Structure 1
Amino acid sequence: MEKHPLRWWALAVAVLAVLVDMIDNQIVAVALPTIQRELGTGDSALQWISAGYALGFALTLITGGRLGDRHGTKKLFLAGMVVFTGASLAAGLAGHVGVLIAARVIQGVGSGLMVPQVLSFIHSEFDEKERPKAMTFYAGAFPIGGLAGPLLGGVLTQANLFDTGWRAIFLVNLPIGVLALIGALVTMPSRPGFFRHRLDFGGLLLLTAGLFAVFYPLVQGRELGWPTWSIVLMVAAIPLFAIFALHQRMLAKRGGEPLVPPALLKYRSLSGGQAVMLCINTAVGVFFILTLHLQLGLGFSPLEAALTFAPSTIGIVAGNVMGMQLAPKLGRAFTAVSIVVLLASLVAIAIVVQVLGKDLNIWALLAPVIGFGLGMGAVLNSLFGVSMSEIQMQQAGAASGLVNTTVQLGTATGIALFGTVFFSRLGTGFEYATVSAIAVSAGVLVLALLFTTALPGKKQAAQAAEKTGEHAEASAR
């Protein structure tokens, strides 16, 4: 296939879209107390505003990737950007919290349509010599977006540009979205889809129903006094997920294309990796609570709250470097040690919050925040590598979609779970409520530590790394 002359410019547009997605995933956290004050929302609404984006993203990722394969990456990228930009406008103009929550979910759907196209574009438009450089630009969007999101959210909320207040965190997406749309129209090649995937709408409906049965009562149940229907609905999630799993197996036997191909789950590295990854991303959701603690409990400004957690990026970058060097050599031992670092840092944060009380400050949290970032960067890097280590080349797209969906579902689960714990304990004081949420997060990390026993050991990791290298060589030839 002939190289597209504007492919590097098109990559810049695609990476910009990923950067905006990462920023938008994080930008809302520090603005939540301001949103609550101005819209007069309940506590559960704060959880929906944050978790709704991740849920919309998670439910669309796999389908978005397959739609791109079928109709072409450019068409789906443009469609996703239009949805995302339109939802950003709706969020910025929202006068009611219900509209804001709906807009956040639709933003996630737009990202779920758009983001999978970026990797497809890189693999189809860049040869084996150019691809590592292209992937470096792509990967760089994640830590930059993770750092810029909270900081930008704090700056925009506090600056109150043109008297827009918190609305600026969504309205800022409009010029960026328009720029990305024009850039994609001009620079991206219009190539037809290469695969005629049959979309698993039945599986998507069952998965959505199961997740709704978990998340809706988990978030709303506390405010409503845990009515009987909320408990029944949560219990109903078990048979719904069982039916989903059965549907996936039956569809695969008939030669269809299920959302989660059962054949992938036979790989110990992938199935075990997803169990650990779900726990890790759930545990990280406790930072949603820490942000509320700083602002609602201690009176931090949005910018001060953002600056408190910004140093975690230093740890994330260092952890990523360590993961690339050591994870393939040490296997699950490296993953386990990284989780222990996460756990120790989280315990240190809880102790500082409890001991200092109202005297808590940025400097007291500096070391444990960097330590938490170090553990997170290391463990996620190792888990991404482990999860994909046994996957065949033709399965890479489906496996990548599954991994990214797990990340988003973990994020949404953490916000819902810890938000419920925090708000239910708030009557006893901010310190107690926050430490209670951190204690549950620590329990989730202990569960993750137990799940590491299902990961490949040192010898298996080395063999998998060698196998991955052979696949890369075969692909290059």
Structure 2
Amino acid sequence: MDETTEADTDGPAGAHPVAGRNAERRRWQALAVCLLVGFMTLLDVSIVNVALPSIQHGLGASEADLSWVLSGYALTFGLTLIPAGLLGDLWGRRTAFLTGLVGFTVTSAACGLAPTATALVAARLVQGVASGLLGPQISGLIQEMFRGPARARAFGYFGTTVGLATAVGPLAGGLLINAAGSQDGWRWVFFVNLPIGVVAFVLALRLIPHGGRLLSRGTRPRIDVVGVALLAAGLLAVLLPLVQAQQWKGAVKWGLIPLGLLLLAGFVRWERRCRLPLVDLTLFRIHSYRFGTLLGMLYFAGFTTIFFIFTLYLQRGLGYSALEAGAAITPFAAGSAVSAALGGRLVSEHGRTVIIAGLVTVLTGTALAALAVHLVPGHGAGYATAAPLLVAGIGSGLVIAPNQSLALASVPVARAGTAGGVLQTAQRLGTASGVACVGAVFFAHLSSGGSWAGAFQLGVLVALGFEASALGCALADVRQRG
């Protein structure tokens, strides 16, 4: 498949060509709605971390309940992404977007009103499905509405959104719990989604374009049920032991991973023979998409786990409040916000070089954060890590959005939803794998009597390994192209 040809067939703006200044303004307004919704759903991944003590206090939740509040959402989110991408490609991204938005808003209310821990877990599982339905539609709509440098800018803004939502979540959660109290403060972590969801729905009805198109013209669209079953079973078997690594004791769980890999191999074989496959495997013939997917998986395995262990270190190891822990991570969000939009512009001119520069900067900032904790292991660690996290955030902004832009640049618009779903599924797999590996090292050091600072430093070393692997992937891509 020739990448240049694919990119050129998308037209000026996918299914919606620009028609004057009003149309141009409307596209960017529609993007703003997409980013608002994306921010809300991504925020819900990180904001709940600092709310766990409040949930435990307010509902009497067990450690297993708390684990499922976090990992259950991530699990159903990851399982939904690829089928959701296909649904958007088949039935129209606007319809899928609005459906997912309603589902997410309603389940946010159900989470906030949950009378028991079991009810909260059930609501979080369904909320993860709604969030997974939304994810691919956002990247698909960007593909549909923009092309060329404008598309790179749009993905730059999307990268800013990802970085902010990931890093601002703990601060936002801390502020809400601090204001509402530990007994019921956790409920406002979910209630905050309600006004955002309602406003976003009204704006989406007015601004999101109707232009989703069917993958197969002249035939009745249908879902590959066998493919969905094989993919869901395979991903579940791989993800479940990873997201439950700390709570599911014993080695039996790891036997699910080879079973999952066998199911995924069966999925690939089925998709090659299926007339209307769930995932068009020819997407992986596109060089930029293949490398971008792998790089994204490796990078998310490294950078997202830093927040996981840093929050634990600050709150449990040093006794930081939820608000203080969130504030300590804010420098990363600030750095990412500054550089992500810039990265979206630079990538159209400098390509993978921008991502390489970003990865080197992330590696430097992450390593300096570990050094800062070594030099200042006490209560001042939050201040000592501020500058290194700012550096790491600047680097991250030059990785996420540019990589997404390059990965999807040559994907046909009609396949944008499916391609975005696969790309985000790879990122979720990376996150789950990274948390499992880094968490194993982190908790093993603590269980052997080690210090919290030492556990954080060892965890960072594992995260650095994933980030270095992502850098190796980017360098290999450049060499292969050269």
TM-score (norm 2): 0.81
For the Cα contact (< 8 Å) 1:19–1:142, is it kept in 2?
yes
**2: CA distance between counterparts of 1:440 and 1:133?**
32
Q: Does 1:432 align with 2:463?
A: no
Change (3 A) 1:97 1:442: farther
For the Cα contact (< 8 Å) 1:30–1:302, is it kept in 2?
yes
Match of 2:318 in 1: 298
Q: Does 1:57 align with 2:77?
A: yes
**2: CA distance between counterparts of 1:233 and 1:62?**
21
**2: CA distance between counterparts of 1:192 and 1:336?**
34
Q: Secondary structure at the match of 1:292?
A: helix
Aligned residues: 455
The alpha-carbon deviation at position 373 of structure 1 amounts to 0.7
Match of 1:448 in 2: 470
For the Cα contact (< 8 Å) 2:271–2:278, is it kept in 1?
yes
Q: Secondary structure at the match of 1:275?
A: helix
Aligned runs of 1:215-234 on 2, under 5 Å? 215-220=239-244, 222-227=246-251, 229-234=252-257
Q: Secondary structure at the match of 1:358?
A: coil
The alpha-carbon deviation at position 364 of structure 1 amounts to 0.4
For the Cα contact (< 8 Å) 2:344–2:402, is it kept in 1?
yes
Match of 1:279 in 2: 298
Aligned runs of 1:299-338 on 2, under 5 Å? 299-320=319-340, 323-324=343-344, 327=347, 332-338=352-358
Change (3 A) 1:385 1:426: same
Q: Does 1:270 align with 2:289?
A: yes
For the Cα contact (< 8 Å) 1:33–1:295, is it kept in 2?
no
For the Cα contact (< 8 Å) 1:47–1:416, is it kept in 2?
no
For the Cα contact (< 8 Å) 2:88–2:212, is it kept in 1?
no
| 1:96-118 residue CA offsets vs partner (Å, 9 max, x unmatched) | 44433332232221122234444
| 1:295-315 residue CA offsets vs partner (Å, 9 max, x unmatched) | 111111111111111111232
Alignment counterpart, residue 195 of structure 2, candidates 175, 179, 200: 175
Match of 1:68 in 2: 88
Change (3 A) 1:41 1:349: farther
Letter matched to residue 345 of structure 1 = G
**2: CA distance between counterparts of 1:274 and 1:38?**
40
For the Cα contact (< 8 Å) 1:273–1:383, is it kept in 2?
yes
The alpha-carbon deviation at position 291 of structure 1 amounts to 0.8
Where relative contact order (Cα < 8 A, 6+ residues apart) is larger, the structure is: 2
**2: CA distance between counterparts of 1:97 and 1:398?**
34
Change (3 A) 1:352 1:439: same
Change (3 A) 1:147 1:343: closer
Q: Can you give the 5+ residue segments of structure 2 that lack an aligned partner in the other structure? A: 1-15
Match of 2:232 in 1: 208
Change (3 A) 1:118 1:7: farther
**1: CA distance between counterparts of 2:352 and 2:210?**
43
Match of 1:466 in 2: none
**1: CA distance between counterparts of 2:154 and 2:329?**
29
Q: Does 1:411 align with 2:431?
A: yes
Deviating more after overlay: 313-322 vs 102-111: 313-322
| 1:426-473 residue CA offsets vs partner (Å, 9 max, x unmatched) | 32232233223222212222322332343134965xxxxxxxxxxxxx
Q: Can you give the 5+ residue segments of structure 1 that lack an aligned partner in the other structure? A: 461-477
Change (3 A) 1:123 1:444: closer
For the Cα contact (< 8 Å) 1:91–1:104, is it kept in 2?
yes
Alignment counterpart, residue 241 of structure 1, candidates 249, 264, 273: 264
Alignment counterpart, residue 339 of structure 1, candidates 359, 375, 379: 359
Match of 1:111 in 2: 131
Match of 1:91 in 2: 111
Match of 1:350 in 2: 370
Aligned-residue identity in percent: 35
**2: CA distance between counterparts of 1:367 and 1:243?**
47
Match of 1:475 in 2: none
TM-score (norm 1): 0.81
For the Cα contact (< 8 Å) 1:55–1:409, is it kept in 2?
no
For the Cα contact (< 8 Å) 1:331–1:457, is it kept in 2?
no
Change (3 A) 1:420 1:103: farther
Change (3 A) 1:418 1:51: farther
For the Cα contact (< 8 Å) 1:68–1:75, is it kept in 2?
yes
Letter matched to residue 245 of structure 1 = V
For the Cα contact (< 8 Å) 2:157–2:340, is it kept in 1?
no
Letter matched to residue 437 of structure 1 = G
For the Cα contact (< 8 Å) 1:56–1:105, is it kept in 2?
yes
| 1:364-386 residue CA offsets vs partner (Å, 9 max, x unmatched) | 01111011112211122332233
